[in-house]
Chain A
Amino acid sequence: MRVTAMKTTLLSILLIPGLAITQQALAQQNAASADGEQVGSAAGDTWAKYNVTQSWELGYRFASIGGNEGKYRSDVNYRDGVRLLGSSLAIHSLDGHGHWFDEITLITAGLGNDPYQSATFRIQKNRLYRYDMLWRSNDYFNPGLTVASGEHLEDTTHRWQDHELTLFPQSAFRIHAGYGRRTENGPTLTTEQEFNSQGDPFPIFQNSREQYNEYRLGFDAKVKAFRLTVQRRWEYFREDLAGSVTVPEAGTGPALLTGFQSIGPYRGRTPGWMGNLIGEYKWVVMNARATYTGGTGDFVQNETAVGTDRFGNAQNLQVAVSGTGNRPVLTGDFSMTLFPSSRLSVINNSSVADTRMDGNNGFLETANFFNFYTVNFQFLGIRLFTNSTDVRYRVSKKFDVFGGYRYADRLIRSIEDTGSAGSPLSGVSAEQSNHTSAGVAGINWLPLTGLRMHVEGELGYNDNPFTPISLKDYHAIRARTQYRRKSVSFGAGYQENYNNNSIVVTSYSSHARSYSADASWTAKPGMSFDASYSKLHLDTIGGIAFFAGAPFPSLVTGLDSIYVSNIHALNVGVRFAVAARADLYLGYSLTKDTGDGRSELAAQSTPAAQVFYNVQTFPLTYQTPLIRLSVRISEKLRWNAGYQYYGYHEEFGLLAQDQNYRANTGYTSLLWAF
């Protein structure tokens, strides 16, 4: 997978996400300050009773990759080709009384096979209608790391679109209709244990097509101090495996698979209702919401496998499963905000969510004409009730304090049943409840003009956490200060999350801290500087138990899973105008995990200890310097070019494949705007 594809381009350089280019293009239409804020009157041409502004940026993008191209395509994935890097069109009626419309806005980015493409469109006529469309596409490699020890194998395409129509958008009664669609095409992993559950595993990738369609219809009505929102929704999901697998397939053992075919259509539907009522009157604001969704999924899975098992015996195996899964969900929320005085506010919120998941299937396995059939059933129910009260008191114009208390009561019921006699899961039924109590307190302070400080802390306890890594005894601290004046701003922040989930046999604790600082300075209209630095520190330790040893693995306890991460992240950008004719932007982004500071992997006392020692930390460096240049050729025409380098380097190859790569990417383009 080590590929080096040095390619040249006729023109110069590039890369920056297309959307940013669009933003740049938008800003260039107007007298723009260095921070992108639009000032002054809008530009554009006047056509009839409309103002029209538009920009089109057409260019060529290139990428030259060295090292692991698969990893590059998983992380970045910019490729060669001609692109409509960005475009925008805005039409506004001058008096707000257009004949058919008052506004049209179209913005695109990356069209022409960029891995990241998007388009947004809006058309509206005041008081009559508003239509919004969003389309996005993302192509990327889906890393098969867990099966391929570091290889990046398959391409995946993810597309979204959403349409929303609102009738009478400024009236007291509005009608909403919408449609959303998501599709994903790419590999789905199926690993077959042939020819029994203890057989040799055969990782098999099959292409799957997933499609999700959503239809929405609803209204909202305002009556005096209330607004009622009602929405009906229908969602449909389907998943299909495409094609059969070429044989023979390489397995990880002596067994041989000479034929394999699998189909697994899944059809899901989730109709739902939502109602929301907001009311407010002077000193009280209330909101009530109720939803119900009834998810159902029907499925069939049919697999046939032909070959020889690890002992050389001919095998003919078929597995057929069919059944239904259900998940009705009922939720309700009610919140009340009281303002006893202009300084004091009290907010109470209660919510309940009742989720019931049950499913059954018929499982038929035919091995060399010997049938094995079971009917299985499972149930998992989660009922969650939460209540929170927040009080806020504004001591003065520049200082306020707040505090709150959160309470949660969760009940989990479980039934796992199977018709297979002697199954360890047969007839198991369990119930558990747990409660979370947490207190929050904090202040907001404006000690000086432009200077603001925020500090808050949370302390919580859960009496019966669901998993060993769930929150049990935990606290969090969040603090941020920011100083902002017209041309300069500074900020600094600290955040800490600590959780200790300790029991007698094993324990888990996680301690995450992040420190950040940022600065922004607009020295003059044509020059600005932005920088931010963050240090993300995480250390966790958790008790583990596993089996190790050959030929008969034995239970190992007493070891801990430790993970230490020290990530330093830096983002710097400088933008300045050159001779009032060109804009230059220099940027640098660095992510460096120094891990626990080790320089090499030391030998451990046992092989098992070595396995876990090697993965206690994952030091790496990922850096992306970039430069962009925009030159004004004429009033309406600009030439843009950019270059960005991507460098990825792991200190220790935890995975069998070398992941490191470096990539030189760039673009050049012409931007026409008026």
Chain B
Amino acid sequence: MRMAANPRPSAALNGKRRQADTRLAARRRLELCLRALCGFAYLLAVAQSGLTQTPQPVNHFIGSDQCGLCHVDVYKSFYRNPHYKSIAAGNTPPDKTGCEGCHGPGERHMAAGGGKDTIAAFSQMTPTQMTDTCLGCHSKDFSRANIRRSAHTEADVVCTNCHSIHGSPTPKFLLAKKQTELCYGCHAPIRAQFSMPVKHRVNEGVVQCTDCHNPHGNFAPSWRTGTGSNLVTASHDNEEPCLKCHVDKRGPFVYEHASVRVEGCTACHMPHGSTNAKLLRRPVVFTVCLECHNGAGTFGRENQGVVIQSASHNILDPKYQQCTLCHVRIHGSNSDPTFLR
């Protein structure tokens, strides 16, 4: 009766009990679920490891000296190799130094008496694996900032295609061959261009491919519309590599030849080689100029067509066929808007 006379506390107590029971049950269910999940995950992990891994003896680093016991020819001259610095340092972690820095731990390889299956052999790697192995140490240098998206990487041209780690005949960069021969090996049409009568002196040794190109990738150029990279090296302000040497064409000028800045040098010139003087795209200069300066369309700086030549210019007169006879500052002028001085 008392309880009946005082039903509220009982109801409240019962309510609290019910809530407590509910919370307890929920917690127990949650714990159960978590335990089940953990157990499932554990079983899955065990099953996975059982499926994918076979018990292997631990493979230890053994040091480059041990490698040299068999690979005498490589080891004997390795002090000339830039990678020897990591050995000489004496404090580089074993996975970052010497033979095992690239080929991985060698204990199993040595125990097996050699074999490509027991070591990280580059000849057995995919192109991506080779790139990743080298970039393990070399990825953060500024010159390789764009290597992942370079045209070479896209074409599966990897480090060892150009670099000979053990037997480089060149004094720098461990190149597999002399630089020009290396590039010509794939770029035969470029060899043809540098063999033309008018060319940059690459075959003569005074200019190198890497003066203008970064084989490890480039930043987006600032000329044209930034597309079509061709691995060109751009200076700090992304301007064309041509201006590194032809600094007199750089300006700034009061009167810029807009097409030079917008379209770049290759609008008029063939950068590698040409049969035409001044590496021009045409054998005579007036066709180079007239193909743009025809007044047509919405081209040009004012959207009214690239300005046509003066009506006083009789093309039949030889002097008017030599446009740069008078327009001498064709790359840009400080004195004259038509580049006359």
Contact = CB atoms under 8 A, between A and B. Distances in A.
B65 to A, nearest CB: 13
B154 A90 contact: no
Nearest to A42: B77
A interface, size bucket: 35 or more
A423 B167 CA distance: 67
A23 B154 contact: no
A539 interface: no
B30 interface: no
B128 interface: yes
B225 interface: yes
Given A110-B205, A654-B284, A239 B252 contact: no
B238 A291 contact: yes
Contacts of A347: 148-149
A518 B188 contact: yes
Contact of B188 (A416, A465, A491, A547): A491
Interface of chain A: mostly helix, strand, loop or mixed: strand
A563 B328 CA distance: 25
A96 B313 contact: no
Contacts of B287: 544, 561, 563, 612, 615
Given A122-B172, A331-B237, A335-B146, A295 B252 contact: yes
Given A109-B205, A321-B334, A548-B315, 12 more contacts: A26-B169, A32-B169, A94-B79, A122-B172, A147-B324, A347-B149, A428-B302, A464-B298, A466-B299, A467-B300, A561-B291, A569-B193
B79 A430 contact: no
A75 B197 contact: yes
B319 A252 contact: yes
A643 interface: no
B176 interface: yes
Contact of A493 (B188, B295, B306, B321): B188
Given A41-B77, A220-B142, A280-B140, A547 B314 contact: yes
A359 B79 contact: no
Interface residues of B, number: 127
Contacts, number: 488
Contacts of A618: 275-276, 283
Given A361-B334, A480-B186, A549-B316, A622 B89 contact: no
Nearest to B176: A37
B294 A543 contact: yes
Contacts of B154: 390, 392, 402, 442, 456
Contacts of A107: 171
Interface in B102-154: 126-128, 139-142, 145-146, 148-149, 154
Interface string B166-177: 011101100011
Given A506-B294, A569-B195, A285 B148 contact: yes
B144 to A, nearest CB: 9
A161 interface: no
A48 interface: no
B191 A571 contact: yes
Interface of B: 73, 76-77, 79-80, 84-89, 126-128, 139-142, 145-146, 148-149, 154-156, 164, 167-169, 171-172, 176-178, 181, 184-186, 188-189, 191-193, 195-198, 201, 203-207, 219-220, 222, 224-227, 236-239, 245, 247-248, 250-256, 258-259, 261-263, 267, 275-278, 281-285, 287, 290-292, 294-303, 306, 308-316, 318-319, 321-326, 328, 334-335, 337, 340-341
A516 B316 CA distance: 40
Contact of A37 (B164, B203, B222): B164
A316 interface: no
Contacts of A278: 139-140, 142, 145
